[in-house]
Structure 1
Amino acid sequence: MTAQPTTAPGTLVPAQGGPPRERTPAPRRRARRTVGDWATLALAVAVGALIAVPFLLILVNSFKSPADYSTGGPLSLPSALYTDGIVAFWERVDFPQKLWNSFVISGLVAVFAVTLSVLNAFALGIGRIKGRTWVVLLILLANMLPQEVLLYPLYFMFKEVGLYNSIWSVVIIFTVIQSAFGTYLLASVYGTFPKEMLEAAALDGASRLQILLRVVVPISRPTLSVLLIFFFIWTWNEFLIPLTFLVSNDVQTVPVAVTVLQGDRLMDVTTTSASALLGLLPTLVFFLVFQRTLTRGITAGAVK
């Protein structure tokens, strides 16, 4: 009696009286979800629904006429699509100009803040300057201080140098504020950078600038992309400082333009909802476009 040879899954097995046929591997059993898994999933769905409720209210009320809002309130569906509120806000505040101002300011701040964060973190995390901890704490003060405390000193300073009512005043302020957080984060990352790689690059004749541009920046590119996206969205949503330093209509941003619709005793709710929807859409599109980049950057350090 001869033993039957064993075959690996997926190999060709000769059939009796016919051509060879491929053996199909046994199907894998799916892992059963536990009660804890279902509870976590239900909690995540509930939190997601709570987060989505304000956006749904804005969307519904943006296409609702004032008569429908007065009759049914904010929770009722519109009887017909009403776009006069969107058109009124678009024409009243010159929305394309506000959109361009917000895009320019947020884009410049994101690029400048990431660049400044990289330079600061390279000096603090890799250069190991003296008093590194105290320098990082001093830089963090830009994020820890409330914006209301900074308004008057910054107003006086930019008034003296002639940058008041200019987008460059807002760009400079937010570049410093955002780079404070970026410096703190990148300094911690660069502090654990492999010294052998830096020493090998130095032995090959690379200067400090070449080490930064050809070694450090490419390896930390996922983290830098995350900072770039966050800095753009954070700056786009800022309100108080642009309201204070941008007084002319042609340099104001989208969040500031929404306040034009609010009066002392009367507010057009449907038009305000339309303005909020128009202000939300650019950041939503920006987030969806760079969602994959954001996900890769966040999970880059989870897998070696």
Structure 2
Amino acid sequence: MAVTELTHRPAATSRRPDPVRRAGRRRTAGDWSVLAIAVLIGLLIAVPFLMILVNSFKSPAEYSSSGPLSLPTQLYTDGLQAFWNRVDFPRKLWNSFLISGSVAVLAVAISMLNAFALGIGRVKGRTWIVVVILLANMLPQEVLLYPLYFMFKAVGLYDNVWSVIIIFTVIQSAFGTYLLASVYSTFPKELLEAASLDGASRLQILLRVVYPISRPTLSVLLIFFFIWTWNEFLIPLTFLVSNATQTVPVAITVLQGDRLMDVTTTSASALLGLIPTLVFFLLFQRTLTRGITAGAVK
């Protein structure tokens, strides 16, 4: 009887509610204040998007009479159709998807290989190499335009989407290498030693040990690289001059004249350019959340 009482006593005590946990569930005035501030900031961020959505379906006459803050009395879609046909939007959309998707995949792959060599491999002076990569990533894009222009002119890649893909792959992989090198430097050495004892090569260790564990971080980099490249403007504007190679952000500038600008058509173009990235973010929101919170729990 004594043994059974001792064995059942911990189970009984574990079912009792913890007063500390119950107290922690109660929201204080500070929690509600932080929540209210977060909601207010969210509303301020959403105001420009709401104005774009409202003004995209207004006619120029209605915009001139009622202003940008009023709701449209009827749906005016001529602005969307005008931008769609004027800039050949499906072509621009495909160029943006091709450039952003290629850069995201290539930059993540190169970042993983570089970080594996710097963070896990035996590269001498890897700290200085990471510092140089970080400093190179901090250079403004305006500094790169002049030498890159002559380089791509010489090799015949000017006005070619691959010129922009190569540039952004190098830029994004520099940041990815810096980030992943810090992550891989804290990688458990026991796993690597166990894989080496089992006869795994370095490539097998990378693909079967390092890659599965770091997949959440790589997913976050992939999403960020895609969105960052999609929103780039200066380099695509400089290196993609023909109508067949331009991207969506560059196509929006076609609607802006020297002394006249159609606000409703410009809002419609901004809406069409925003929808793909918004859909992409919503599709991979769960992947992004899991990747960010993956390192919080061991």
Q: CA deviation at 1:29?
A: 6.5
> 1:271 corresponds to which letter in structure 2?
T
> 2:193 corresponds to which letter in structure 1?
E
Q: CA deviation at 1:92?
A: 0.2
Q: Runs (4+) of structure 1 moved beyond 2 Å? A: 28-32
1:251 is the counterpart of 2:245: yes
Q: Which residue of 2 aligns with 1:86?
A: 80
> 119, 129, 140: which is aligned to 1:125?
119
Bigger drift between 46-55 and 124-133 goes to 124-133
1:221 is the counterpart of 2:191: no
SS where residue 118 of structure 2 aligns? helix
Bigger drift between 180-189 and 137-146 goes to 137-146
**Structure 1 segment 1-304 matched on structure 2, within 5 A:** 31-304=25-298
SS where residue 205 of structure 1 aligns? coil
Q: Distance in 1 between matches of 2:56 and 2:152?
A: 38
Q: Distance in 2 between matches of 1:35 and 1:101?
A: 50
> 1:221 corresponds to which letter in structure 2?
R
Q: Which residue of 2 aligns with 1:20?
A: none
Report if the CA contact (8 A) 1:142-1:176 is conserved: no
Report if the CA contact (8 A) 1:118-1:186 is conserved: yes
Percent identity at matched positions?
84
SS where residue 163 of structure 1 aligns? coil
Q: Distance in 1 between matches of 2:143 and 2:104?
A: 23
Q: CA deviation at 1:72?
A: 1.2
Q: CA deviation at 1:237?
A: 0.3
> 1:241 corresponds to which letter in structure 2?
I
Relative to total residues, which structure has the larger helix share, 1 or 2?
A: 2
Report if the CA contact (8 A) 1:57-1:74 is conserved: yes
Q: Distance in 2 between matches of 1:284 and 1:259?
A: 21
SS where residue 81 of structure 1 aligns? coil
Q: Distance in 1 between matches of 2:157 and 2:102?
A: 16
- CA deviations 1:38-78 (Å, max 9, x no partner) are 10000000000010000001000000110111011111111
Q: Distance in 2 between matches of 1:193 and 1:300?
A: 14
Q: Distance in 1 between matches of 2:111 and 2:160?
A: 24
Give TM-score scaled by structure 2 length: 0.92
Q: CA deviation at 1:33?
A: 1.6
Q: CA deviation at 1:140?
A: 1.6
> 1:113 corresponds to which letter in structure 2?
A
Give TM-score scaled by structure 1 length: 0.90
Paired residues, number: 280
Q: Distance in 2 between matches of 1:275 and 1:233?
A: 18
Bigger drift between 69-78 and 105-114 goes to 69-78
Query: Gaps (5+ residues) in structure 2?
Result: 1-7, 10-16
